Amino acid sequence: MANHWKRSRITKALTDAARASSFKEAEARLDAVHVAVVVGADQATTSAGQAAALTAIVTARKCFSRVTLVSEADVPLIAKLPLGTTLHRAARRIGSRIARKPPARTTHRIIVGHVANDNGWAIRCWWDRWLSGTRVHHNEVGDSRLALSGVFSAALAVRQVFAGVLAGKVLRARDATVSLWTPWGAADPRNVGPECFDIPDQFWFLGLGHLGQGFVWNLCLLGSTRGRAVVQDDQTIGEENEATSLLVTSDDIGEKKARIAAMWLDMAGWTADIIERRHRGDIQLTPDDPPYLLSGLDRIEPRRVMAEHGFDYMIDAGLGHGPHDFEGIQLRVIPKGASSGDLWNAPEHTREEAPSDRQENAAYKDLEMQIGQCGIVSFAEASTSVPFVGAAAGAIVIAQAIRLATLEPTARFLQMQLSAPEMASVADLVAKPSVNVGSTALQL
């Protein structure tokens, strides 16, 4: 019997939306995809180019199982990651094959840099400093010194591949452009954002699953900064976490999530302190604790508690739930002393099926015959989660933390759908900080 649990958080996007009649069919459709990440020599040695290549590889590998890095020559990694010291070594570590040309059975190509496009489905990663997106036809990238733009661009590219699998047919690739500096407004090609800015030098990461690992992935790829981090999570990595968590490989199953995050941060030059228990608002903050809380929690109630806990800034990321809204990203920024009650008053998504209802669809009935009624309950209660959403959300969260450290206003509440990221909506803005609570200046 196939191990359906390992990729269940991803296959549920198909089964729970009635796009596949069984988990076996959902797995087969994902396995039919073979992504080639084609990296040109012009971008193989840039921060954005390497971040795009690694993000495309890790998210495609976790979604579709098969991915190949197409690259002429190996190059040193710019960021310090626990994946090896070169691009090829890192790619192999996260599950990619290496080739000089796309394999014959390639179904989709994600292109990074100046590479001729052969026949077949292809999408190009594109960026210009803080602007990030995708292009169908050849369009020269701009300033490639910002890794966050590479991460976000690759996440959008893999999302377009996944959309075709979800639809059960070939979908035309599309252009998209977002400003990570001001994602709530229309991207202006004349405004690519600053090349000199501040990065917070202390973070408290609370929740190190799908979203929290997206924060750490982006911060480590950003590089060129040092600081202190508190990483807090009480959970152990399970088999089902490998497919949704950017930092996790099969070797990490059984390890504590906080320890894996700390290892990545330590390698990148941060000093990480580990807390392996839940935060119920009962850990008293001291003047030496990080002023920025990055929250990747699932449930609303603990997020409300943390919003009142006294951090200078809480940056909270949330995702849509269920088979129809798993690509929705919500960002909330809460300064110390600000009212936060209305940020979670309205429902975050339309009501999804109850787990008991979901068990009645054809996919769950088929699976029940294989694993029994008890196993079905775990499948039905699990949330839909795909790794490229965590990568994209992480880029937005780190970008907005940088805005605060640079004494710029940011969104109080931002909502974005990765199917149309350029149409993000914002309620209002948090006033720009009057005091720098701790940062390091970075000149690209």
Place of tokens 């990480």: 272
What is the model's pLDDT at position 378?
A: 62
Report the distance separating Cα 348 and Cα 324, nearest Å. 13
User: 304-332 burial, b for 16+ CB within 10 Å, e for fewer?
Assistant: bebbbbebbbbbbbbbbbbbeebbbbbbb
Answer yes or no: is pLDDT of 349 > 50: no
CATH of the domain at 80: 3.50.50
What pTM was computed for the model? 0.93
CATH of the domain at 328: 3.40.50.720
Position with higher pLDDT, 378 vs 442? 442
Q: What stretch of H or E contains 224? A: none
Domain edge (last residue) among 149, 179, 209: 179
Are the C-beta atoms of 10 and 30 separated by less than 8 Å? yes
Nearest to 403 by CA among 372, 367, 439: 439
What is the model's pLDDT at position 119?
A: 80
- Helix segments in 187-299, DSSP class H: 210-222, 257-267
Whether residues 37 and 89 fall in one domain: yes
* Residue 84 backbone class (left: φ over 0; alpha: ψ -120 to 50; beta: rest): left
Strands (E), 129-248: 131-135, 176-179, 196-200, 202-206, 228-232
What is the model's pLDDT at position 339?
A: 84
Split into its structural domains, the chain has a count of 2
Whether residues 227 and 173 fall in one domain: no
Domain edge (last residue) among 150, 179, 208: 179
When pLDDT is cut at 50, 70 and 90, the band that residue 351 belongs to is very low
**Cβ contacts of 375 within 8 Å, gap of 6 or more:** 367, 368
Whether residues 115 and 161 fall in one domain: yes
Whether residues 271 and 321 fall in one domain: yes
In a domain, 217, yes or no: yes
In a domain, 428, yes or no: yes
Rg (CA), the chain: 21
What is the model's pLDDT at position 380?
A: 62
In a domain, 370, yes or no: no
What is the model's pLDDT at position 105?
A: 94
Q: Which domain holds residue 132?
A: 33-179
For residue range 262-319, what is the model confidence (pLDDT) as tens digits? 999 999 999 999 999 999 889 999 999 999 999 999 888 999 999 999 999 999 999 8
In a domain, 343, yes or no: yes
**Average model confidence (pLDDT) across the chain:** 91
For residue range 151-170, what is the model confidence (pLDDT) as tens digits? 999 999 999 999 999 999 98
- The mean per-residue pLDDT over the stretch 105-133 comes to 94
Residue 148 burial by CB count (10 A; 0-12/13-18/19+): exposed, middle or buried?
Answer: buried
CA 369, 370, 375: angle at the middle one, nearest 5? 95
Whether residues 159 and 257 fall in one domain: no
Q: What stretch of H or E contains 98? A: strand 97-99
When pLDDT is cut at 50, 70 and 90, the band that residue 373 belongs to is low
In a domain, 13, yes or no: no
In a domain, 188, yes or no: no
